[in-house]
Amino acid sequence: MSHDAEFVLTAPPSPIRTGSQPVVGVMIRNRSKRELYFCARFAVAPFIGDIWPALKGPSGDDIPFALRVRLAPVRGSDFILLAPGEAILTGFQVRRFFELGQQGQYSLSAKYVTQEIPSEMATLPVFREQVECSPVSFSL
């Protein structure tokens, strides 16, 4: 766990209706005592993006990530400087990345990961760790 950042997911209101596009809220907060740059590209993709999601279905089985993602290299313009206590908020549509076919309770967890730092930012105070969030639940 990082002491410099807080990463939070917010579950969509449950139950999710058939055909709706539920959005998971995403927040990253600077918890350090100094200004830090955070990658705000927020690419959602396991092991290659900035947010590594993991979804468990009602049976407890892992739901596979269902979107093919091609990411351009991260750039300096993808980073935002946050003062202590400041946060970035965004969200993503769950159905864009996962097939939600079963009725019941789902559990979503994720990591926020800084994998790349562009050379022009090498000497700047960039958050260089990964931080996990507590899982959130929603139901169909």
**What's the CA angle centered on 21, arms 28 and 96, to 5 degrees?**
70
**What's the CA angle centered on 41, arms 99 and 28, to 5 degrees?**
85
52 SS3 class = strand
pLDDT score for 1: 53
> CB-side exposure of 111: number of CA atoms within 13 Å?
13
Domains, the chain, with CATH or none: 5-124 (2.60.40.2970)
pLDDT score for 67: 84
Instruction: List C-alpha distances in Å: 92 to 28, 76, 89.
Output: 14, 22, 11
Average pLDDT per block of 10 residues along the chain, 140 residues long: 88 86 95 97 93 96 90 93 97 93 94 93 96 95
The whole-angstrom separation of Cα 55 and Cα 24 is 12
